[in-house]
Amino acid sequence: MFREIEQNSELFPIITSYCEENNIEVCLSQSLDENSHDKLLILKADAYYSSQNMNNPPPAIDCIILVKCDTCDGYDIHLVELRNIKSPKGFNKENIKAKFTTVLDDFLTQRFKDIFLNEKYCNFNCYFVSDPYSYGNMTQKEYDKKIHTQELKLDYFNSIKPFRFQGKVSLIQPKLPNPMISEC
């Protein structure tokens, strides 16, 4: 799949070596960082839509992270929206949902279905990476508990219908900045 993406004239320009936007970044495990050329590929999905010269481009997530798995004959796919905000007022729940929907329904299953629908996926994850409550010193487990017990705006993502891709299911998972993507 990596070769097909690299040879595609529409996808090649949106390949990047990192998933970062507005000082929020997805960290990679050390082994992926060192061996990224054959195990990791990152696409800037929002750059694809903004480069299409559309009058009103659809909302799209920031990154698609693909990891070639050693443990199964397939890939992990991570869809990531990054948001550097200081308050929950800094994001619209429906807009975030629409960003994931655009990438799943249009980018992966329509425009580039010949590449993405012909592969096996081990894991599928949707991440909303942000810290709108300034909880950066918490662990992810503490963060998840606080979101759910206090019924914060981020808990909305647990109430929507999970996304499906290639037989895999994922909710939009709120994550603190700098979550780690590791090998599979």
Q: Quickly state the pLDDT bin for 91 (edges 50, 70, 90).
A: confident
129: domain range?
A: 2-181
Task: Tell whether pTM > 0.85.
Answer: yes
Mean pLDDT to the nearest integer, 32-50: 85
The residue behind tokens 């729940």 is 93
Task: Give me 108's structure tokens.
Answer: 């992966």
Distance separating alpha carbons of residues 183 and 83, to the nearest angstrom: 24
Q: Which residues pair with 123 in a beta bridge?
A: 76
Lowest mean pLDDT among 31-35, 39-43, 84-88, 159-163: 31-35
DSSP for the chain, written as a single string: -HHHHHH-TTTGGGEES-EEETTEEEEE-HHHHHSHHHHEEEE-HHHHHHTS--SSPPP--SEEEEEE-SSSSSEEEEEEEE---SSGGG--HHHHHHHHHHIIIIIIIIITHHHHTTS-EEEEEEEEE--TT--TTS-HHHHHHHHHHTT-GGGGGGTSPPEEETTEEEPEEEE-SSPEE---
Residues 109, 169: Cα–Cα separation, whole Å: 15
Question: Does the pLDDT at position 35 exceed 70?
Answer: no
- pLDDT value for 36: 64
- Amino acid 117: pLDDT: 96
Mean pLDDT of 5-19: 95
The predicted pLDDT at position 138 comes to 85
CA distance 81 to 41: 16
At residue 152, the pLDDT reads 76
- List pLDDT tens digits, range 97-142: 999 999 999 999 999 999 999 999 999 999 999 888 888 788 888 8
End-to-end CA separation in angstroms for the chain: 16
**Ranges 20-24, 81-85, 177-181, most confident:** 81-85
pLDDT number for residue 171? 95
Residue 106 to residue 125: CA distance in whole angstroms: 17
Sorting pLDDT into bands at 50, 70 and 90, what band is 166?
A: very high
Q: Which two tokens stand for residue 15?
A: 């390949």
Q: How far is 77 from 45, CA to CA, in rounded Å?
A: 13
For 141, how many CA atoms within 13 A lie in the half-sphere containing its CB?
0
pLDDT-above-90 percentage for the chain: 56
Task: Please tell me the total count of domains within the chain.
Answer: 1
| Residue-level pLDDT at 23 | 84
Q: What is the pLDDT of residue 162?
A: 95
